[in-house]
A and B are shown apart, each in its own frame.
Chain A
Amino acid sequence: MLSLKKLSTNLLRNCGPLGAVSTSLYGSTSQPSPSRPRATEPPKRVVFISQSTDVFSNLAFEDWLYKNWSFEKRSILFLWRNSPCVVIGRHQNPLVEANIPYLESAGVPVARRGSGGGAVYHDHGNLNCTFFTARERYDRRQNLELICNVLNHDFGIQARANSRDDIVVGHDNKVSGTAAKLGRTSAYHHCTLLVRTDRQQLRLALQGDKTIQIKATHSVSSPVANLGDIGGKDMTVEKLLASLGRTYLTEQEQDPRLANGFTLVNPTDDWFPGLGKIEADLRSGEWIEGKTPRFTIRRSVSLPPCLAGTSASANITVQAYHGVVEEVRLEDGLMACEELTDLVLDISTSLKGTPYTPGIFCDISNRLRVPQPLHTQRSFL
């Protein structure tokens, strides 16, 4: 007896391209209807591992996945590592969070991610995990528990998640950071794990300029620890990566048929069209510096004898917004001579609209020493 399945398969085999019903090949608006899995069927799980260590490519890929994919049928754990870099939160000030002059001289990039939260330092000893799910399956706690189970089970490290969603070991030493993004249909939870991070570099990199006054999000610093210090020399990023991936795929409640294994991803535009644009935006000054909220910074600048009145120095405040100078102000203006006041006004006019850099006070100091005649400053306007 032919089963119904065999009947329909035979039909498909012997008929023309449009099946038994003859309609025009063109102009048919009906989509082929594959048998859809029931909405309640649990999604397959797959582990993506980035083959790039460039923070901009990886952040761009995270964003690309979030924007372009639906996670109804597949949940994804994306594991990635970066070459040394600093990543600040969406609303933070890079000057406050990171030691920009040091990082520039060391060639360490600073990136701004799309999600909120604090600044972190990444290097090869740090593992990033991003859990992608459909919006209704978003469960931060579950992800943190998975990580803690792996650490306890596979590496003998007593780790737990605290109320701030940090993973801590020992006496509240932080080994992770968490950030998240929730959209209408998709969500991701990003967690970083310190395994063998260079803690000295971390400290140096995150020593920002605390004299800057801001309304932006401050990072909350906590004592950190490396999992590698506790887990022994067998604990490496590679091993943790493999353990996390395996556990994610084969967690007890998961039907083994839902596991789809590991795969490498090459986060470039030719593999994922549209990724190039996201990456270019992330690299742009417009994004990194340009999203910095308004801030002011005040320094004492020494004055040349011709300008010095009762004091040999003056307090100058620079105000910037979105990384661009808005105003240069002279504090204690009442005590200054008219020449100084006018000079500072001119400096403000000429520096307004230029990008803020940490070297600006040097520039201001030079301009005070060698004042330009007023008419030459204006001659090109």
Chain B
Amino acid sequence: MSAASASGTFKASDLQIDFCPPENLKMKPAVKDLVFGRSFTDHMLKIFYTDQSGWGQPRITPLQDLRLHPAAKVLHYSVELFEGMKAFRGVDDEIRLFRPHKNMERMNRTAARCSLPTFDGDELIAILKKMISVDQEWVPHTESSSLYIRPTLIGTEVFPYSTLNKVHPKLGTPVTTPYIGGHWKEQDNTSIDWLIKPTLGVQRPVEALLFVILSPVGPYFSSGFKPVSLLADPQYVRAWPGGMGMMKSGSNYGPTLEVQRYAEAKGLHQVLWLFGPEHRITEVGAMNIFIFLDKGNGEKELVTPPLDGLILPGVTRDSLLTLAREWGEFQVSERDITMTELVQASHDKKLLEMFGAGTAAVVTPVGSIHYQDQVINIPTMDHDQPLNQRFYKTITGIQYGRIPSPWAIPNQ
């Protein structure tokens, strides 16, 4: 049974588009000012959901503020999830999506866990393609530019009033009560109670909103691969067994902002998240972590923590593991690794590379870890051909169409 069947699904064929009128289009800045997450395109996608009527009509509209009732669940109990994925303008000027189905699966898994409605991922991908097609000129025609796609699903409580003047199909009178889920409730009298009373009770939301916004990312260059420094302090815990570590929910990221600030105050770049008395390494910042070791017998080993519930199943993480297994040149292990093992490997000069993996930068090399009283230096970039750079070249080669692969889906 597909995840979508529990709450039905919206359909790409129902998509309605309200184009942003020319007078409201946003000026495009210089490409160097297209910093990740700072600019947004001209349009957005909105799809409403209610328990009563299911998913509504998908609509692409000009980028606009949301109207929420103050009792909306997302504002109080963080009933929210999001996704991060990208579309790339390839070397042939065609646009490609990178493994979007993985994000759709994860989004539905997280929705089910977060009391939010599920849907058919293929329908959303078809709609995203249209969105990207409409706003594609926000991606510069240079190499290595991309469009960051941020689907979000939030629990609302009261359906926002439609901004269009609507007339009741049977009574012919103007309607001031909400337009729910794309369907007019079939009522034949005037005392229509469509308002779902907002409640602050800690309960499942009966309404939700799925929206998508797009952010253009200008080119960044591989010469910008300066290794980062990490703060590894076991008192800060990102996720725990039985928790939501494997879900891409906003509630996992909000609490990390302050810890990030502590790290920066110490002059460090990111946080290495540890767990348990043995100080297991779990993730770095908002990325998965990879460690490349020399086993000493002429063999090498690529290690990343297993998907045991604490770890977000990253799409980049999965891609790197698959590539490494395909290459078959070294051992690939999804296993636990502790700070003790890491420190030991560093002393024995067996710690070759350490890097984060995520959608934003593909790989982020780690240069040093500040752990308790020690500083562990890692020669991540001090090799002839670092593994992390080989990963970067292969993944970006696929994304930008240099290397043919079914992982890169054309935006047709």
Chain A residues with a Cβ under 8 A of chain B: 9, 12-13, 15-19, 25-26, 28, 30-32, 34-35, 37, 44, 47-49, 51, 238, 241-242, 245, 249, 259-266, 268, 270-273
Contacts and interface: CB of A to CB of B under 8 A. Distances in A.
Nearest to B25: A264
B408 interface: yes
Given A242-B21, A265-B28, 18 more contacts: A13-B101, A13-B102, A17-B323, A17-B398, A17-B405, A18-B326, A18-B405, A30-B404, A32-B406, A32-B408, A249-B19, A259-B17, A260-B133, A261-B42, A261-B134, A263-B135, A263-B138, A264-B26
Contacts of B150: none
B347 interface: no
Contacts of B135: 263
B51 interface: no
A264 B403 contact: no
Given A26-B403, A271-B31, A273-B141, A263 B326 contact: no
7 contacts: A12-B101, A12-B406, A25-B394, A260-B133, A261-B42, A262-B19, A263-B25
A78 to B, nearest CB: 12
- Point out which of A31, A264, A271 has the most chain B C-beta atoms below 10 A from its C-beta: A271
- Point out which of A49, A242, A260, A273 has the most chain B C-beta atoms below 10 A from its C-beta: A260
A17 B326 contact: yes
A16 B398 CA distance: 12
A271 B219 CA distance: 11
B32 interface: yes
A28 B404 contact: yes
Interface string B94-107: 10000001100100
Given A34-B94, A271-B141, A264 B27 contact: yes
Contacts of A264: 25-28, 137
B140 A49 contact: no
Nearest to B405: A17
A246 to B, nearest CB: 8
Nearest to B133: A260
Interface residues of B, number: 44
A35 B326 contact: no
B119 to A, nearest CB: 15
A313 B245 CA distance: 96
A120 B43 CA distance: 37
A34 B23 contact: no
Contacts of A272: 140-141
Interface string B338-365: 0000000000000000000000000000
B357 to A, nearest CB: 15
Contacts of B19: 249, 259, 261-262
Contact of A32 (B29, B42, B105, B410): B410
Contacts of A238: 22-23
Contacts of A13: 101-102, 105
- Which 9 A-B pairs have CB atoms at the shortest separation, nearest pair first? A34-B410, A261-B19, A270-B31, A266-B28, A263-B137, A32-B404, A17-B405, A19-B406, A264-B25
B142 interface: yes
B66 interface: no
B102 to A, nearest CB: 8
B104 to A, nearest CB: 10
Given A37-B412, A273-B141, A17 B28 contact: no
Contact of A262 (B22, B401, B412): B22
A35 B410 CA distance: 9
Nearest to A47: B22
Interface in B74-116: 94, 101-102, 105
B250 to A, nearest CB: 26
